[in-house]
């Protein structure tokens, strides 16, 4: 079996890669450099001449060849490599007529618990969405910001330390009061706090038993993340911005996280994700795959969730909603009935019931792209809109 074509597809906010073989088997993958999909697409185009004519089942060899080819790395390159890797695993599963997880040692669970996206621009909206998630049967919610989803175009007035931290703690308390202990709260900071703020905030919300505190500060410095983790009593989650197994190894060595947020579409695909999960398992770290993308990403993540013992939760943005970028970044976006939904890009989505994704039994990753999605759902490049403080300085959000 040989690779005959590699096709890149930009649709809505997503980058997909389709790989075809001379035996008629087609695999699909997705790239996770989600603010820079154009750059990632060009990286795929650079890899195509190597892939044509190769045996698609030599997945590890191709991973190493492409990863080590130019001695450079970065999110755009790794997003491209991840998409290719996922597509190759999809081909392998279809070739052997089994789900990908069967090739990775077989499943250890029949369903994967998810955390559902909840957001809002004010406390009333957040509480309302939390209660809706509970009514739908979800037992965990995420993207749960104590600073709300305010427009990035609005100047940020930080105020005093006491007000900033005090208000954030009170909001988490309101979230817990709204749903009781029937919902796990995955608190997302999006690197919003400096070190003393992160420690004070974490100690303030400890009483509300959050599932984890994600990216309490910028994840670039492993020592800083480890410093925070050592001084609070809440598990730290990080990793959605890491794009190599080595970065996860370093944060693990520094004891900087108790939950790894591996992005299968960014960290090297299914190959990279499985290696990271194995490292984490040996060191008592749980895995919560990052997934702000399409149902193709969800399907790839589910293959990992199915077969690793240290799986904790699966991020699930919801297939019946618009893209995460449109919901949380494009503040002028107004979704109407009948508009694009993420699930439209595939022929059939992975079933979600009562807060769990049902592990699929179809060969490959379990989903296939719908027809003509590039034409039906034109690609929209993400605008660069970085929030500023009232004093004109840049704010992380």
| Residue 10, burial from CB neighbour count under 10 angstroms (0-12, 13-18, 19+) | buried
pLDDT greater at residue 71 or residue 284: 284
329 and 361 in contact (C-beta within 8 Å)? no
Residues in the chain: 397
Q: Is the dihedral of CA 314, 320, 325, 329 positive or negative?
A: negative
DSSP 8-class letter at 61 = H
pLDDT at residue 333 is higher than 70 = no
CA atoms of 283 and 296, how far apart (whole Å): 29
Q: Which CATH number fits domain 3-98: 3.30.750.24, 3.30.390.10, 3.40.190.170, 3.40.50.10420?
A: 3.30.390.10
The string of DSSP codes covering 205-265 is: HGGG--SEEE-SS-TT-HHHHHHHHTT-SS-EEE-TT--SHHHHHHHHHTT--SEE---TT
Residue 161 CA to residue 147 CA, distance in Å, equals 14
pLDDT of res. 188 = 93
Do 3-98 and 102-365 agree at the fold level? no
Is the CB of residue 238 less than 8 Å from the CB of residue 228?
Answer: no
Topology of domain 102-365, CATH: TIM Barrel (3.20.20)
The reported pLDDT for the residue numbered 139 is 97
**382 secondary structure, DSSP code:** P
pLDDT-based confidence at residue 127 (cuts at 50, 70, 90): very high
Model confidence at 336: pLDDT above 70? no
Higher pLDDT, 220 or 47: 47
Contacts of 349 (CB under 8 A, 6+ apart): 295, 298, 319, 343, 367
What pLDDT sits at residue 337? 65
Residues 6+ apart with CB under 8 A from 391: none
Note the pLDDT of residue 324: 85
Which uninterrupted H or E stretch holds 143?
strand 140-144
Share of the chain above pLDDT 70, in %: 98
Strands, DSSP E only, in 249-396? 259-260, 286-287, 314-316, 352-353, 356-358
Q: Pinpoint the alpha helices (H) of 96-142.
A: 100-103, 123-135
| Model confidence pLDDT, tens digit, residues 146-204 | 988 888 888 888 789 999 999 999 999 999 999 999 999 999 988 889 999 999 999 99
The whole-angstrom separation of Cα 16 and Cα 311 is 26
Domain residue extents for the chain: 3-98, 102-365
Q: Rounded to an integer, what distance in angstroms lies between the CA atom of residue 218 and that of residue 22?
A: 46
Burial zone of 253 (CB within 10 Å; 0-12 exposed, 13-18 middle, 19+ buried): exposed
Asked whether 205 and 176 are in contact (CB, 8 A), the reply is: no
Nearest to 148 by CA among 392, 390, 387: 387
Which letter does DSSP use for residue 22 in this model?
T
Query: What six digits make up the tokens of 257?
Result: 């996280």
Catalytic residues: 190, 290
């Amino acid at each position: 079996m040989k690779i005959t074509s590699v096709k890149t597809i930009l649709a809505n906010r997503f980058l997909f890669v389709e790989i075809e073989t001379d035996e008629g088997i087609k695999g699909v993958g997705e790239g996770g450099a989600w603010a820079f999909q154009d750059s990632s697409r060009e990286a795929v185009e650079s890899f195509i001449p190597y892939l044509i004519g190769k045996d698609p089942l030599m997945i590890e060899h191709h991973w190493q060849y492409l990863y080590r080819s130019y001695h450079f790395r970065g999110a755009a390159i790794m997003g491209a490599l991840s998409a290719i890797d996922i597509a190759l695993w999809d081909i392998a599963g279809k070739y052997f007529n089994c789900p990908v997880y069967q090739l990775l040692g077989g499943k250890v669970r029949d369903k994967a618990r998810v955390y559902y996206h909840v957001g809002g621009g004010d406390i009333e909206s957040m509480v309302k969405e939390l209660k809706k998630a509970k009514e739908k049967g979800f037992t965990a919610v995420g993207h749960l910001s104590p600073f709300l989803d305010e427009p990035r175009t609005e100047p940020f007035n930080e105020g005093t330390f006491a007000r900033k931290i005090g208000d954030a703690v009170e909001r988490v308390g309101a979230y817990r009061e709204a749903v009781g202990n029937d919902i796990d709260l995955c608190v997302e900071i999006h690197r919003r706090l400096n070190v003393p703020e992160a420690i004070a905030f974490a100690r303030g919300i400890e009483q509300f038993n959050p599932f984890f505190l994600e990216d309490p500060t910028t994840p670039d410095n492993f020592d800083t993340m480890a410093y925070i983790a050592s001084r609070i009593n809440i598990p730290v989650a990080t990793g959605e911005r890491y794009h190599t197994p080595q970065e996860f190894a370093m944060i693990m060595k520094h004891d900087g996280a108790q939950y790894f947020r591996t992005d299968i579409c960014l960290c090297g695909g299914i190959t990279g994700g499985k290696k990271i999960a194995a490292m984490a398992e040996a060191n008592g770290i749980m895995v919560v795959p990052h997934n702000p993308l399409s149902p193709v990403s969800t399907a790839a993540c589910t293959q990992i969730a199915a077969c690793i013992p240290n799986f904790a939760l699966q991020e699930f943005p919801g297939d019946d909603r618009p893209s995460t970028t449109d919901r949380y970044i494009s503040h002028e976006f107004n979704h109407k009935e009948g508009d694009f939904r993420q699930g439209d890009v595939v022929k059939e989505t992975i079933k979600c019931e009562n807060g769990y994704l049902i592990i699929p039994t179809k060969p490959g990753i379990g989903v296939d792209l719908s027809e003509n999605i590039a034409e039906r759902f034109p690609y929209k490049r993400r605008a660069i809109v970085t929030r500023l403080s009232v004093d004109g300085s840049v704010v992380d959000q």
